[in-house]
Every structure is written in structure tokens, then in C-alpha cells.
A and B are shown apart, each in its own frame.
Chain A
Amino acid sequence: MATLRVIFHIAANDFRLTLKARGIIAWIFAMPLVFMLVFGLAMKGSSGTDRKARLTVDNRDAGFISRSLIEELRAEPLDVVDSLKAGESAIRTLVIPEGFTEDVLARRKVALELQKESGADVEASAAVNAAVFRCLLRVVSPLIEMEAGMLERGTKGFAFKGDSLAGSPFEASLADPRLLGQIEAGLDSLRAEPSLVTLRSTAAGALRKVPSGFQSSVPGSLVMFVLMTMVFSGAAITVERSTGVLRRYAYSPAGKGSIIVGKLLGRMLIAFVQIVFLLLVGKYLFRISLGSSTGALVVLMFVFAFCTGAFGILFGSLFRNPEQVSAISIIATLAMSALGGCWWPIELVPRAFKTIAFVFPTGWAMDGIHKIISFGYGMGAIAPDAAVLAGFGAAFVLLASWRLRPTD
């Protein structure tokens, strides 16, 4: 009981000292907001909303098949435009070549071109690709059905000769110009019929798409700045060591274990205040989703606070000069943040960097947070991340205990 009281006493004092440190409020609360905003906007700042992928259609064909194709595309969850306003970027353009309808009806090979700008979102482009294929199928399938009917009816200029098909609907229409109107009407009619088979595809949890905008910048800034706060707090231990304060702790009946646990707890409290503040800002100011598993988020943030708090103590135990800690902490924090995926989505970096990310606690923290807030997973999915973070934390505590000597 007395030991617990001493632990809380030390924790409360360290909490108070951190809040009294010069400039710390800016680092805990203000700077992360600036980073969230800047990085969020730089990464398009569009997360949390379900914006449609843009497709510009450059239709050089005057026929009805291209018109049907465009109608099908407009029915897809795409932002289909056929002309750009001044300053607008095309992003992706589908070029329908001249004579497309005639080529299709003549059974000639025809190529549609889907052009993408270099900065186009990879995932949105994939969605557009799939939509174009779907629409082509919805246009071409009725045509095949009608061709079968025409063959059955023995339409002139279009028939089987042996095993091969001779002629085409286009050639048939040359003999009977009314045929084109009939094909167009038939195509519209068939397209209007409800599909006999429907494939409904739903994601288990949230759709696993690469987090972008604020959905990426909020957790990234959170992880980076909590780590930074904790590492800066390590400088306080170096100061305590250099001024003899740590030695004075050792003269008291409080054991070394109580001192380290108390200091860790104080740092965890600071980390938790910062985490809660930044998550609330993310949710209410930047409108990001925090997922549906509050329990998993609390557990993950708890082990992250433990891990980074322990890292701060270890950092403080390694150096004797507070200036050394400040300089090295900035380099270490920035490196761990960048490599751990705090600055950009880890999905976008090469495989080797993905592996490197998981060398650092930041990589595991980012992985766990995105599982919860971006992909909708719960406790089971983040268990490995939480376990690894807890392991890192335990190792840091042990090393710090070994490094911190009362006689220092």
C-alpha cells in the first residue's frame, strides 16, 4: 500500500513537472494539430468522406454503342465527366475511338484507352478499371444475345458458314438500313431488363483501402508526437541525474523499482492525455473515423503509452547531458516516425521499407491504429501489435532499470 502511494506520488510529480516544462504545451497539443492539418491536406485531406473516383470520357464516336457505354458508366459510383472546367485535372480519361460503334457491330477488334495521370490514386484507378470492364460487359452481352437472335432469324448478310460466322450485324445493316435502329432499340431494351444473377460483394469490416488525408495524418501525427513527448521527457531524467535529484530519490526509502514505475506511470499519464486530446481532435475537427472498437483502441493506446514512456526513461538513462538528449531525440523520433509509417501510408512504400517499419514500435503502433480506425477491425486483429508493443516496453524498462544507478 505504502509502495503504491509512493509510486503514485512520483507519477503525479512527474506529470506536474512535464506540464510545467517550457514549451511542452505547444509540443503536446499545438504542433500535432499543425502536422495533422498540413500532412492531411498534402495527402488530399479527403478521408472520412466517400468521394467518387473521377473519369473523364473523351468520346470520339458518334454511334449508339458508345452512348450506351457512357450511360452504363454514369450508373457506376464514378464521377463521370465529358468536359473539364478551367484548371480542373482530368486524372483519368477513357478515350472511345472514332468508329467504335461501327467496329463493334462489324466484329472488328477495337481498343479503348484508359489514360491515368501520374499522381492518380492507385486504388481509385483500380476501381475505375473494374467499372469500365463491368460496363463493357453490360453493353456487349446484349449485343451477343441479339446476334444470336439475328442468326436464328436468318438475317441476310449474317450467317454461319460451316463452323465459322460470316458477315456481321454491320454488314447486315448495309443490306437493310432499318436494322441499325432495331439493334439500338433492342440493346436499350435488353439493358433495361433486370439482371437474372446479381453478385453482392461486401467487405468484412471496413473496406481495406489505403488510408489517406486526415485518416492517415491524424494517427501518424499522434504516434510521432506522443513518441516525441516521451523522448523529450527523457531529458528530464538526465537533468535529475545531473543535478543530483535522482541521487536524492535513492536516499529515501522508496526503492529503485518504485521510482522507475512511478516515473513510467507519470509519463503514461501525459501520453494518455495527449492521445485522448489528439483522437478527439481527429474525430470532431478532422472528421476521421475512430473505428467501432473503442475497447481495442484503448488497449492499443495503453500499451503504446507504456512502450513510449519506457522508451523515454531508457533514453534519459543513456545520456548524462540534457542537450545531448534533445539533439539525439529529434533525430531518433523523426527517423522512427518516417520509417514506421507516420508520414505516409506504409502500403505505398517498397517491400523492404515495410519490413523495416516493423523493426520500430512506431510501425506496430501505426499498423494497430489503422486496423482499428481505417479497416474496422477489433481486439483480435490488434492483439499481435499490442503484444509486440508491450514486449518493446518491457525490454525498455529492463534496460532502463539496468542503466539507472542511484550513484549516478
Chain B
Amino acid sequence: MIEVRGLAKSFGDVQALSGVDFAVGEGEIFGFLGPNGAGKTTTISIIAGLLGADSGTVRVNGMDIAKDGTRVRQILGVVPQDIALYEELTARENLHFWGGLYGLAGKKLRGETDRVLEIVGLSDRADDPVREYSGGMKRRLNLSAGLIHGPKVILLDEPTLGIDPQARLNILDIIRNGVSGGMTAVYTTHYLEEAEKLCSRIAIIDHGKILAQGTLAELVMLAGEGSVVTVTGAFSSAQVSPLLKGITVEHFGDGSLRMMIPGRSELSGALGRLFSAGIPIEDVSIREPSLEGVFMKLTGRELRD
């Protein structure tokens, strides 16, 4: 549905994007994970036809955005980072206006407005001015304004920015349900857990370059990430070290050790050897491989940096 090839964009001396390639299949939620300034919004802006690329191509549903901008925008919904709404208008008036820009009118516009208000759970507040809404309600309305014309593809640029966890889960559910209805989504975020929970595939972007992309499992494998196992008990390093040959030990001390174990079989083998040898173990904690670890491994820094 979306095909991006060799995308590059610079602003003056700043290279915002460089050689960005990815493809998103129909009905897929593709995550764009990266810190602020990584190039996520620039990528979304180019796909939406708002910015021209210095080089590279973007095709949406087979149409080149550079040549067929108006037709592409007709099937594209964009949910911007900003709450881009008229605060003095009601939710219904806002949706009527934004829907009208896509050519919706009359009965169809009214029907679509009711539909999206229902989806985002704002039907009962539809006729209240937006300025009276909470932050989470505004975010939901912001999302619904991108859905009003029933787009085939939706570009979501950090749509949960600045709202509480409950409201965020609510928005993720709306997106998930929308995609189950056949929509394709590109979702940019710098919240790891959102990308993990929502996206079928993820691209990690930093300094305008895609460092890796794939499913969560593929990324973990690509980064060589494993489970981090911490064992505590009344043991000395001399007792346990002969039992952990071939295992990466990150921290070793009397009474505690932390190991990096690449897979399930290696994990059960190592723990089995410790228990068989009668090592007095008091506690074992296992931290599964995560996107955070992958991100750190690929970028050398935490996402919040």
C-alpha cells in the first residue's frame, strides 16, 4: 500500500532524512520508532505530500505522491501531532468542516460524522465546544478528524502525545479496530510500549536513517538481544562460574549474578545446571528481550535521550 524508496531530505545543512526505504502492506500497522528529531514527522510530511523530497519516491496505493498528490490525499488520512482543531466549534462542527474539505456533504457527511464520533466515544459530547474537552477527548477528536473521510491509509504522527495512560490505551484500541476494518496505518511514536503493542512491523529511525526494521522478534534477533537473568542466593562466584561456561555474564559477585542468555533452551540449561549442583538460590528474575534493549543496542542510547 505504501512504498518508500531512497527518501532524502535536508533543511539547510541539516540532513533530516537519508536513504529511507520501507514498504507497508495493506491492513498493516507500521511503526516508526525514534526519538524527537529522528525524522519521523518529516517522513510523514513527505508521504502526505506536504513536503517535497530531495530525492527518492513515495507511492501510495500505486500512485506517486509527487505526481498524483491530490488523488493520494483523497485516500490518505493524517492525524497530526498538534491538536489541529477549531476550539470554538463543537466536535460535530469540526468534523463537518474537515469532512467537507474531502468533498463529503449532506447526508453522507452527517452519517460519517456520527460514525466516527461513535468510534472515538464522543457521541454524547458531540455538540459541546472543543475548548471544554479534556486533553484525551481532544486527542480522540483529533484522531476522528483524520478518519472522517474513511481513508484507506492513515498516517498517525504521535497521536497520543501528552495524554494519560488510560486515554492512550483508548486511542490505541481505536486504531487497532480501525485497521481491523482494512485500513493501513503508519504510526510514529517514541513510546516503546505503544510500538510493541500496536505495530505488526517496526522501523527504528535515528538521525534520519532507518537502523533496522521488521517484526519485534526479527528486531530482537537482528540486535542479538537475549533474556537478562538475575540470580541471587548464598553462593560464591567460585561455586557457580564453572557451571556457566558459554554464558555471557554481565555482572558477577558473591551472592548475585546477571547473565545474558540468548534463547529459551540456553536459559533452562543454565538454570538446570545451577539447581543440579545444589547452589542455594533464593531468587531468579528474568527480563524478556524488549524493544528498548534493541533500541539501545542499535542507537547506543535510550529513547528518551
Measuring CB to CB, which residues of chain A are less than 8 angstroms from any residue of chain B?
Answer: 2, 5-6, 9-10, 13, 16-17, 20-21, 243-245, 247-255, 406-407
User: What residues on B are CB-neighbors of A253 within 8 Å?
Assistant: 70-71, 73-74, 101-103
In the complex, besides A5-B105, A247-B80, A406-B50, 7 extra interface pairs with C-beta distance below 8 angstroms are: A6-B100, A9-B100, A243-B84, A244-B80, A248-B80, A251-B48, A252-B73
CB-based contact A247/B101 at 8 Å: no
Contacts of B235 in A (CB 8 A): none
Shortest Cβ distance from residue B81 to the other chain A in the assembled complex, whole angstroms: 7
Whole-angstrom distance between the alpha carbons of A407 and B50 in the complex? 7
13 contacts between A and B (CB under 8 A): A2-B103, A6-B103, A20-B89, A21-B88, A244-B80, A244-B81, A244-B82, A245-B85, A247-B50, A248-B84, A250-B50, A253-B71, A253-B74
- Considering the chains assembled together, what is the distance between the CA atoms of A244 and B48 in angstroms? 15
Assembled-state Cα–Cα distance A315/B137 (Å): 33
CB of A248 within 8 A of CB of B78, answer: yes
> B51 near A: Cβ within 8 Å?
yes
Nearest chain-A residue to B97 (Cβ)?
A13
B78-120 contact mask (Cβ, 8 Å, vs A): 1 or 0: 1011111111110001000110111101000000000000000
Per DSSP, chain B at the interface is: loop
Is B203's CB within 8 Å of the partner chain A? Answer: no
Q: Which residue of A lies closest to B104 (CB)?
A: A9
Report whether A251 and B73 are in contact in the complex, using a CB–CB cutoff of 8 Å: yes
Q: Which residues of chain B have C-beta atoms less than 8 A from A249's C-beta?
A: 101
In angstroms, how far is the closest chain B Cβ from the Cβ of A37? 31
> Smallest distance from the beta carbon of B202 to chain A beta carbons, Å?
24
B83–A9 CB distance below 8 A = no
Q: Does B45 contact A (CB under 8 A)?
A: yes
Q: State the B residues within 8 Å of A (CB).
A: 45, 48, 50-51, 70-71, 73-74, 76, 78, 80-89, 93, 97-98, 100-103, 105, 145
Residues on A with C-beta less than 8 A from B86 are 13, 17, 245
A251 and B103 contact, CB distance less than 8 A: no
Are B84 and A5 in contact (CB-based, < 8 A)?
no
* In the complex, residue of chain B having the shortest beta-carbon distance to the beta carbon of A6: B101
Q: Name the CB-closest residue of A to B74.
A: A253
Give the chain B neighbours of A2 by CB distance below 8 A: 103
Determine if A251 and B50 form an interchain contact, defined as CB atoms under 8 angstroms apart.
Answer: yes
Chain A residues, CB < 8 A from B88: 17, 20-21
Given known A17-B88, A406-B50, contact A251–B80 (CB-CB < 8 A):
yes
Let me know if A251 and B102 touch, CB within 8 A.
no
Q: Complex: how many Å from CA A82 to CA B276?
A: 134
CA distance A354 to B50 in the complex (A): 47
Determine the chain B residues whose CB is within 8 A of the CB of A244 once the complex forms. 80-84
Across the interface, do A247 and B84 meet the contact criterion of CB distance under 8 Å? yes
Q: Are B81 and A9 in contact (CB under 8 A)?
A: no
For B48, the chain A residues whose CB sits under 8 A away are 251
- A20→B100 CA distance, assembly (Å): 20
Given A5-B105, A407-B50, CB of A245 within 8 Å of CB of B84: yes
Please judge, given known A-B contacts A2-B103, A17-B86, A243-B82, whether A248 and B50 are in contact too, CB under 8 Å.
no
Instruction: Tell me how far the C-beta of A24 lies from the nearest C-beta in chain B, rounded to whole angstroms.
Output: 11
User: Closest 10 CB pairs between A and B?
Assistant: A244-B82, A244-B84, A252-B101, A248-B84, A251-B78, A9-B100, A253-B73, A245-B84, A253-B70, A253-B74
Cα–Cα distance between A6 and B100 once the two chains are bound (Å): 7
- A10: B residues at CB distance < 8 A: 101
Smallest distance from the beta carbon of B196 to chain A beta carbons, Å? 28
Using known A-B contacts A6-B101, A9-B97, determine if residue A251 contacts B83 with beta carbons closer than 8 Å.
Answer: no
Task: Give Cα A248 to B100, complex, Å.
Answer: 13
Residues of A near B76 (CB, < 8 A) are 251
A254–B82 contact, CB under 8 A? Answer: no
Closest to A20 in B: B88
